[in-house]
Amino acid sequence: MNKATAYEWNEAHRPGIVVIVKMDNGSLRYTRTRSEAWNLGHGQPVVLLEGMSGGYDLARVTPMEIQDTLLA
């Protein structure tokens, strides 16, 4: 999984990219980001995801290498 800071994430990825997120039950879900990443007050970097509420820890979010045709 990803260990990027919010700044590093935003430098490498634009909002709207396809990602895989690891859910609480361990399953994987394909979705898109809907924001830039930001740090919570205690420093944890998070990002908003389509179809999900709240910010998700970047450690649980992995960008897909192929972006053009996924989740079109």
Residue 41 to residue 14: CA distance in whole angstroms = 22
Q: 45 lies in which domain range?
A: 6-63
Per-residue pLDDT tens for 20-52? 999 999 999 999 999 999 999 998 999 999 999
Residue 72 lies in a domain: no
Six-digit token pair at 15? 């909002």
| CATH number of the domain bearing residue 37 | 2.30.30
Tell me the pLDDT tens digit for each residue of 48-70. Answer: 999 999 999 999 999 997 766 55
Among candidates 35, 29, 36, 37, which has minimal Cα distance to 71?
29
Alpha-carbon span 37 to 33, nearest angstrom? 9
Looking at the domain assignment, is residue 71 inside a domain? no
Q: Is residue 59 part of a domain?
A: yes
What's the confidence (pLDDT) of residue 53?
94
Confidence of residue 4 (pLDDT cuts 50, 70, 90): confident
Output the pLDDT for position 72.
54
Count other C-beta atoms under 10 Å from residue 50's C-beta.
13
Considering the chain, what percentage of its residues have pLDDT values greater than 70? 89
Provide the domain count of the chain.
1
Domain contains 36:
yes
The answer to whether residue 68 is domain-embedded is: no
